[in-house]
């Protein structure tokens, strides 16, 4: 628990290249060719994702050529910088906050890295003060949108302190031609690129569209092989267990009770769970665990259809839709990521 923190603004960012699901399936079939004989469910996986299109950091032909670490990280830095500026600028404008007012910037990204970190490289161009505090986060994966926002909220708790949270993921840059595994092919069908940013301030509830009042994390024991990266000379390689939906059905319910208790919240008072849409099977499992009617997570399915799974930023795209539709009195953000961990934020609707 921590003092209530105002969520003043939210901004989104997308790279310029759009790939339909049909185009993604054809491109994958062209690249993997005869190797798909060992994965007869290939066409069905692409057709059943619930995804219509996704945005990508590079044109389609880029993914058909071989790339190593140097190529991938150069592409990451270029695309991530553009997405950082796009999402952060939109969030600051939405909040009515000038860059020089930002006291701290928290950045979560697990699909690439740069040293100096992106926040340092872009500080002058963004107009941040020289004394700004910076906290780059790596390794949170799909949970980074909620876990990173929770960290930003804790740092923004002192009254008047302003924190900018930015999360961007370039999942498409991890596409591996040399990996014909089921996990890699499923990831190819699911993941896209995007960014989101939020502006938070302590003691400014009168300007908030939502007020964060709790956050918690639950780390499941002996679950490290469910989700993550395998790192080798070619770059990142996906670790993604096919048993994830069943794992959630078996283990998430008691963890959710503990998370709500950490936040001092009662489940029956949560008017809307805003969830990271990892995929259609994961959404179905979440609806079962949350005791919701099938199809209740409608904003999640709409974001998945329009953008695919963008990893960490995706839940904030869902929050944006929920905000525009009208937040209930109480809501909770829920995301799952490497560790394997569940992350929760509770919030109440603000006056704005």
- pLDDT tens, 15-39? 999 999 999 988 888 888 777 776 7
Pick the residue with more confidence: 34 or 61? Answer: 61
Question: Which residue, chain included where needed, has tokens 């950045």?
Answer: 107
pLDDT of residue 1: 64
Q: Which of 180, 190, 198 is closest to 97 using CA atoms? A: 198
* Residue 99 pLDDT: 98
**Known catalytic membership, residue 171:** no
Residue of 176 and 341 predicted with greater confidence:
341
Q: What is the DSSP letter of 209?
A: S
Answer whether residue 7 shows pLDDT above 70.
Answer: yes
State the pLDDT at residue 130: 97
* Catalytic residue (choose from 104, 142, 171, 263): 142
Using CA atoms, how far residue 42 sits from 49, 59, 98, 185, 224, in Å, is: 11, 23, 48, 8, 26
* pLDDT above 90 for 339: no
Query: Rounded distance, CA 207 to CA 278, Å?
Result: 32
Q: What percent of the chain has pLDDT over 90?
A: 70
Per-residue pLDDT of 99-136, as tens digits, reads: 999 999 999 999 998 899 999 999 999 999 999 999 99
Query: How would you classify the pairing of strands 162-170 and 235-240?
Result: unpaired
Give CA torsion, residues 313, 99, 125, 106, to 10 deg. Answer: -40
Q: At what angle do helices 69-95 and 118-126 cross, to 10 degrees?
A: 40
d(CA 126, CA 91): 12
For 295, phi then psi, to 5°, come to 95, 0
Please compute the mean of the pLDDT values over residues 220-243 and round it to a whole number: 80
CA 68, CA 83: separation in Å to the nearest integer?
A: 22
Dmax (CA) of the chain: 61
How does residue 290 score in pLDDT terms, banded at 50, 70 and 90? very high
CA torsion, ordered 30, 33, 38, 39, to nearest 10 deg? 10
**What residues are paired with 54 via a beta bridge?**
19
For strands 104-108 and 133-137, give the pairing.
Answer: parallel
| Residue 318 neighbours by CB distance under 10 Å | 27
Whole-prediction pTM: 0.95
Question: How far is it, in rounded angstroms, from Cα 47 to Cα 65?
Answer: 25
Asked if residue 53 has pLDDT above 90, the reply is yes
Tell me the pLDDT band of 239, cut-offs 50, 70 and 90: confident
If you average pLDDT over every residue of the chain, what do you get? 92
């Amino acid at each position: 628990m921590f003092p209530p923190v105002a969520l003043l603004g939210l901004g989104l960012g997308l790279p310029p290249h759009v790939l339909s699901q049909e185009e993604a399936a054809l491109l994958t079939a062209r690249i993997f060719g005869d190797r798909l004989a060992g994965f007869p469910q290939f066409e069905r996986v692409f057709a059943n994702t619930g995804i219509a299109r996704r945005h990508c950091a590079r044109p389609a032909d880029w993914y058909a050529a071989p790339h190593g670490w140097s190529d991938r990280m150069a592409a990451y830095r270029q695309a991530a910088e553009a997405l950082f500026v796009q999402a952060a600028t939109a969030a600051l404008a939405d909040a009515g906050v000038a860059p020089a007012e930002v006291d701290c910037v928290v950045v979560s990204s697990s699909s690439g890295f740069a040293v100096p970190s992106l926040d340092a490289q872009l500080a002058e161009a963004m107009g941040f003060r020289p004394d700004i505090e910076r906290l780059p986060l790596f390794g949170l994966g799909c949970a980074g949108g909620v876990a990173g926002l929770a960290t930003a909220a804790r740092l923004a708790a002192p009254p008047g302190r302003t924190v900018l949270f930015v999360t961007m993921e370039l999942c498409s840059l991890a596409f591996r031609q040399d990996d014909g595994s089921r996990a890699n092919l499923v990831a190819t069908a699911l993941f896209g690129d995007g960014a989101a940013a939020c502006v938070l301030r302590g003691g400014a509830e009168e300007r908030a569209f939502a007020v964060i009042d709790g956050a918690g994390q639950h780390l499941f024991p002996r679950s490290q092989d469910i989700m993550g990266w395998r790192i080798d000379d070619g770059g990142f390689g996906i670790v993604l267990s096919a048993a994830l939906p069943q794992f959630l059905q078996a283990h998430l319910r008691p963890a959710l009770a503990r998370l709500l208790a950490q936040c001092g919240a009662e489940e029956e008072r949560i008017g809307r769970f805003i969830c990271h849409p990892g995929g259609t099977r994961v959404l179905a499992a979440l609806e079962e665990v949350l005791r919701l009617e099938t199809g209740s997570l409608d904003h999640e399915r709409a974001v998945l259809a329009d953008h695919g799974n963008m990893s960490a930023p995706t839940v904030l795209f869902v929050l944006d839709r929920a905000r525009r539709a009208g937040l209930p009195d109480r809501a909770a953000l829920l995301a799952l990521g490497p560790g394997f961990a569940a992350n929760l934020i509770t919030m109440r609707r603000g006056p704005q």
